[in-house]
Structure 1
Amino acid sequence: MKKMIQKMSLVVFLLSTTLIAACTQPLGAVESTQTASIAAQGPLDAKEIEAFADPLFANKMKEFNVAGSSFVVVRDGKVIVNKGYGFADKEKKIPVDKDTVFQIASVSKTFTALAAMQQVDAGKIDLHGNIEEYLGGLKIPNKTGKPVTMYDLLTYTTGFELPDETTFTGPQYIGQDISMDEFLSKHMPTVIRPPGEAYTYDNTGFLLAGYAVEKASGIPFAQYMDEKVFKPLGMTSTSVRFKPELLKRMAAHYGPNGEPRPAEGHAPTDGPQGSILSTAEDMAKYMIMQLQNGKFDGKEIVSEKSMELMHTHQIFADKDIPITTVGFENYFPQYANGQHVVLKGGNMPGHSSLMVLIPEQKTGFFMSYNNDSMVSADIYKEFMDHYFPEKAKAKADPEPDYLPLSEADAQKYFGLYQNTRAYWTRTSITYENGSLVLEGEATGKQKLRMIHPLLFVDEEGEKVAFKEDKNGNIKYFYHTTPKGVSLAADSQKMEMKKPYSDVPNTSSYKTHINNLSAFSIMGATTGNKFDPTGTMTQGEFADALIKAQGQYVMAGSEDGLREQLAAGIPNLNPSAPITRQVAAAMIQNLKQLEPVATSKVTLQDTADAWAKDAITALVSQGIVDPDTKVNADGSFTFRAQDLLKRQEASALLDLAFGYYSLPIKR
């Protein structure tokens, strides 16, 4: 197999990543032309649904620049509405209809969970047994001593260090045939957290779940899904693979601004984590089976017991903050209006999907559309508000009685935390005037009030749930904020390393050095010595920069990042000592900061032309080492041609990629 290089696409990162961005936009109300009493009965009448949905989709598709979308609603075992909006191909004026094919991306995970539970029903897989018994001899590197189970895979709690190490997508994979055997022998992350301990959205987990289905059943995964799932459900336009007859009906792909883009395939070719193609017509049958407890057209597709696991919350941040079921998720429960909802969304570059099930109401809807926006978040909210509005409360909920928190009791929360999936998402927790203070790049500084010792609320009303280890030490937190990508995973508390013997407590660089050490970005050179005034090579700094930037965790992205950080810098040599101006240019190449207009700064010393703008941009944002002083008039001397010291590198990297909100006030 040729070396796989993936251009980094954070759209594929996770449903929640793009859903977060969408949910920060205003949600306009779209009034139904039918009476409220009809809507209050739920989606029962096709004409009423269309009267509600038609203007909603027209408005939202225009707002989010969506060319075309499918929309299907089922209830009580019947399809109520199944129609398309806009164009599958706007250049050719081909409309979307119920048979338009879309890539449903991570909605595929629910199918993989279903297949795995079929094998559990058949007694071929033990849901809570060591998954390696079902991998045909494939071993999972594991530093914890606790084996991974199928339950861990399906509930996003495997403990993998790099859960996106197996997420390869690109146009080049459409024409290839890469087996899971071939792929997984070369791409396997390591388990570094005890399985079941922490929530981390995990593509690798579902890839392995599908591989276990293949090995336990003795049937290739794509064939298994055809024979055991799609065919029994009559899903004739659904496949794990890019079949020619489906490609002919597949909607064109567009970027957020409406620009055409190529379709992308997966490696391996059969992608249990996200490679399924389907239509609204077929997905309606799948939802009906889900809402009929695993039965369809008189056949049992999966047991009622297994379906209950898929529809029951399994993993919680707090007892009132459910996160996942077996296969499904529960992001933004406030949109559910008190209903029990399970949902799953998916994103591939140019295609997005969302499936929402309300099991107790025997109701579900599904939509696929052809761009990278998350218009589906708005549709979901409006659908629930229209058909399942939250019942009026007799009186407003009283403000909780927040508990006091002394500085002594707050100590156990203090420290630096790193998201267990998105390593670039880092958070600091300190104490100030009776409150914990959370600081992150996306959230800024937020004071936290205590509901109980493991649950706090921030200034915007979002919950922060902490988790202890067996000794009562704080180990993780989960933040429900829609800002950034915190919803992608628990954040883990970093262990502060033993103080370096050659970094005095009075050093203005000590905090920066300690921060980078905690995140394993820079460490000792020999023994317990940091060598703060020592120099670095260009290659050493590039290595530290890649770790500090954090997005190397996306499969195949590191080569692209290294190419990006070198852009426009002449005569780079990994073995050569690095100067301060080269370091500044490398940081800016990845950071891409704009100079702060209100913080005009003027470089006083000599720097090469290719480095001046980078230096100015960083300094205007407050990314400057302690020995570089900015005068009251904005003038400063950067010592651009000097060699970069290790302590200076620690300060620049910590400030550029730490937990701070930019610009940093001087």
Structure 2
Amino acid sequence: MKWNNPKLKKACLFVTTGALAAVALLGNGPLITVASNTTTNTITSPAGLSAPVRNGPEDVQELLTFADPLFADKMKKFNVAGSNFVVVKDGKVLVSKGYGYADKKKQIPVDSQTVFQIASISKTFTALAAMQLVDQGKIQLDHNIEEYLGGLKIPNKTGKPLTMFDLLTYTSGVDKPDITTYVSPEYVKQDIPTREFLEKHMPTVVRPPGEAYTYDNFAFLLAGYAVENMSGMRYDQYMKKNIFEPLGMKSTSVRFTPELLARLASHYSPAGEFQPLSGHAPTDGPQGSILSTGEDMAQYLLMQLQNGRAGDKQLVSPQSLKQMHTYQTFAEASIPIATVGFEGYYKELMNGHHVVLKGGNMPGHSSLMVLIPEHNTGFYMSYNNDTNMSLEIYEAFMDHYFPETEASPQPAFVELSKEEAKPYTGIYQNTRAFSIRTQFAYENGHLTMEDSTTGKHTLQKINALLFQDELGNKVSFKKGAAGQIQYFYYTSPVGLGVVAESQKMESKPPFADVPSNSKFRTHIDHLQTLGLIQGIGGNRFDPKGTMTQGQFADLLIPAHGWNIFPVAAKANQQQMIQGIPGYHRSKPITRQVAAVMIQNLRQLNVDTKVTLSGSTDAWAVEAVQALVGNGVVDPDTRVQQDGSVHFRSKQLLLRQEACALLDKAFNYYALPIALK
């Protein structure tokens, strides 16, 4: 399945995870102008991109004829102000130029010296630094990472040591991979030491390291700290001495400097609004704080494609570099995910070639680095908004220079019985984006899956661990340490499922005081399985008990599931209580207060045609209408004979009702739900 969905959010999103200079029409369009390094080129928009070149880019003019209208079109589509573009092949820099503006207001063009935050591409530099120390014998990839942390301890519930290899291949198994992701303008001028920060922000290893893939910012921060500790040099100083200076990367830094800030491209939102510069906490961000230019990144690409060599300097051994270019983490044998440091989302876009890549996002900046090692080719780009433009450039580049040489064979499907389907069925939760919960079931002779981001799909079995949906996307399953189906991975370009494998949630014994025929039983069981709600002791739930506003808030935030970033969690806590008079954690919560809190986070469409009976305060009417109009109601809410709905707004919220409202608001794949 080729890239064709503009709603896809970048898999490399969640960092540490567009006046256009070119206005183009693909077709018989007008003359267009493209701002380059120092001059303005005028070209004619062609009727279409030129025919594919099967040997990769070789001729500079042909490359520009391909790239100039492509960037003009995509920058217009994604409202990108400015972008750089670097292409290297066979040890030479073919193109290093800029398009559009680094600063729209001042009309400063992007060129090869424009500085961008490369965000998570920094992870590949951290992996390179770690492999340098492996070459020197200072770090062993398969040893407990705590050996290299100077006494810093990592809580671990699995009994299996966490290693550097696990960190660099995105398989650390920690419960909160973004617990250290602090990005904000307030950190730009602060100096926050890494060790002190880690001591206060430490996740726990809850899955056996190496078992499952999760995009992991914490892992690379910890890996960078190990480099710092074992080298005896602060991370930014190590990178400057051992990577940037040997490569001649004079405009690359882990930290902000006045000289680089003077050349830094402005940051813009997808709508084109100016955004302030954001920094990291801690100050050194091995997971995403590097700044660089197109000229410097060209040298990095060349080293990567020359077995780790730059001139007369061997930065890393060919063996270590090979590990960085070889897939180590797979969802299934046919679905590669990660190397040491790099990744490879969307295998279909590789057109059958071996490709490793890394993307990155900071607020207002995006980057992508792509290597095709077997063809000695690579490209890099950064631009000043956080949209999907880079992936469309990637697809066009691959289709033009490395098209498919032969069509992929169609898989043969095998039957799946109800009994055979049992190991797969149940509820799974994404190990990074906790809001993505997926239900697998057996229906009409097929395995089905449904979640809130991609909808409902029917799956056909290819083999015991690989299925395919009706759109051609693959669903792979993986067994855990106990030999049972424990994870799945979905290759769909819709939603955010690609950021991690999802883990099967263990069903827990039902509460003794919730009758099996209770209309609330399913909702209570769902929230209990997901670990969102607990009983009151002795396997009792107290379904008709009440709760306070604070207790509901503590349940709502994880049910919402977008609390993976500490900054986002804080923002959600503030957002959910907006418009509620006299909110206080100790107050008993009414149904209308719960409705407003849910709507503040869920942002359902308000159905003003919904007629409410009974009494609802004015500040809660729209929220209640939104929930009712979308079917987010508890089983005891009914449509009256006159068509109105009595939501019982001012009654206290019962615990069983809270489960029903939250389950429907955040765990159902399609809204509205029919209200009976």
Q: In structure 1, what residue type is equivalent to 2:95?
A: V
State the partner residue of 1:604: 613
Looking at structure 1, the residues matched to 220 and 637 of structure 2 have their Cα atoms a distance apart, in angstroms, of 49
Q: What secondary structure does 2:567 align onto?
A: coil
Q: In structure 1, what residue type is equivalent to 2:463?
A: H
After TM superposition, give the deviation of residue 17 of structure 1 in Å.
Answer: 6.8
Q: What secondary structure does 1:551 align onto?
A: coil
1:200 pairs with one of 214, 231, 255: 214
State the partner residue of 1:621: 630
Looking at structure 1, the residues matched to 549 and 162 of structure 2 have their Cα atoms a distance apart, in angstroms, of 40
2:89 pairs with one of 75, 83, 93: 75
Change (3 A) 1:31 1:122: farther
State the partner residue of 1:15: 12
1:542 pairs with one of 553, 556, 564: 553
Looking at structure 2, the residues matched to 613 and 251 of structure 1 have their Cα atoms a distance apart, in angstroms, of 42
Q: In structure 1, what residue type is equivalent to 2:110?
A: V
Matched, 1:382 2:421: no
Unaligned runs of 5+ in 2: 1-7, 18-24, 28-44
Q: How many residue pairs were aligned?
A: 644
After TM superposition, give the deviation of residue 526 of structure 1 in Å.
Answer: 2.0
After TM superposition, give the deviation of residue 412 of structure 1 in Å.
Answer: 1.3
Change (3 A) 1:34 1:28: closer
State the partner residue of 1:240: 254
State the partner residue of 1:3: none
Looking at structure 2, the residues matched to 35 and 201 of structure 1 have their Cα atoms a distance apart, in angstroms, of 37
State the partner residue of 2:268: 254
Cα shift readout 1:459-488 (whole Å, capped 9, x = no counterpart): 111111011124432111001111111001
Q: In structure 2, what residue type is equivalent to 1:650?
A: C
Percent of aligned positions that are identical: 60
Q: In structure 2, what residue type is equivalent to 1:614?
A: A
Matches within 5 A, 1:267-666: 267-393=281-407, 397=409, 399-596=410-607, 600-631=609-640, 634-666=643-675
Looking at structure 2, the residues matched to 200 and 407 of structure 1 have their Cα atoms a distance apart, in angstroms, of 30
After TM superposition, give the deviation of residue 631 of structure 1 in Å.
Answer: 4.3
The alignment's C-alpha RMSD in Å is 2.0
Q: In structure 1, what residue type is equivalent to 2:599?
A: Q
Q: What secondary structure does 2:79 align onto?
A: coil
Change (3 A) 1:376 1:555: same
Q: In structure 2, what residue type is equivalent to 1:531?
A: D
Aligned partners of 1:69 and 1:96 also within 8 Å: yes
Q: Judge which range, 573-582 or 120-129, deviates more.
A: 573-582
Change (3 A) 1:32 1:99: farther
Cα shift readout 1:76-121 (whole Å, capped 9, x = no counterpart): 0110111100001010010000000000000000000000000000
Q: In structure 1, what residue type is equivalent to 2:647?
A: F
Unaligned runs of 5+ in 1: 1-10, 21-26
Aligned partners of 1:477 and 1:491 also within 8 Å: yes
After TM superposition, give the deviation of residue 556 of structure 1 in Å.
Answer: 3.0
After TM superposition, give the deviation of residue 659 of structure 1 in Å.
Answer: 3.9
Aligned partners of 2:26 and 2:73 also within 8 Å: no
Cα shift readout 1:362-421 (whole Å, capped 9, x = no counterpart): 00000010011121111101111111111255xx83x43211111111111111110000
Q: In structure 2, what residue type is equivalent to 1:616?
A: Q
Aligned partners of 1:12 and 1:347 also within 8 Å: no
Looking at structure 1, the residues matched to 635 and 668 of structure 2 have their Cα atoms a distance apart, in angstroms, of 18
Q: Judge which range, 401-410 or 296-305, deviates more.
A: 401-410
After TM superposition, give the deviation of residue 562 of structure 1 in Å.
Answer: 1.5
Normalising by structure 1, we get a TM-score of: 0.94
After TM superposition, give the deviation of residue 490 of structure 1 in Å.
Answer: 0.5
Aligned partners of 2:13 and 2:360 also within 8 Å: no
Cα shift readout 1:272-327 (whole Å, capped 9, x = no counterpart): 00000000000000000000010111210000000000000000011100000000
Aligned partners of 2:26 and 2:47 also within 8 Å: no
Cα shift readout 1:205-238 (whole Å, capped 9, x = no counterpart): 0000000001111111111000000000000000
Cα shift readout 1:165-190 (whole Å, capped 9, x = no counterpart): 00001111110111102211111111
Q: In structure 1, what residue type is equivalent to 2:423?
A: K
After TM superposition, give the deviation of residue 126 of structure 1 in Å.
Answer: 0.5
Change (3 A) 1:521 1:608: same
Matched, 1:107 2:131: no
Change (3 A) 1:201 1:420: same
Q: In structure 2, what residue type is equivalent to 1:304?
A: P
Normalising by structure 2, we get a TM-score of: 0.93
Change (3 A) 1:188 1:471: closer
Matched, 1:188 2:202: yes
Q: What secondary structure does 2:263 align onto?
A: coil
Q: In structure 2, what residue type is equivalent to 1:578?
A: I
Change (3 A) 1:511 1:621: same
State the partner residue of 1:57: 71
Change (3 A) 1:105 1:372: same
Matched, 1:122 2:136: yes
Aligned partners of 1:107 and 1:274 also within 8 Å: yes
* Segments of 4+ moved more than 6 angstroms: 27-35
Change (3 A) 1:619 1:473: same
Aligned partners of 1:14 and 1:346 also within 8 Å: no
Q: Judge which range, 651-660 or 149-158, deviates more.
A: 651-660
Change (3 A) 1:28 1:446: farther
Q: What secondary structure does 2:302 align onto?
A: helix
Q: In structure 2, what residue type is equivalent to 1:71?
A: F
Looking at structure 1, the residues matched to 435 and 515 of structure 2 have their Cα atoms a distance apart, in angstroms, of 28
Change (3 A) 1:36 1:558: closer
Aligned partners of 1:419 and 1:490 also within 8 Å: yes
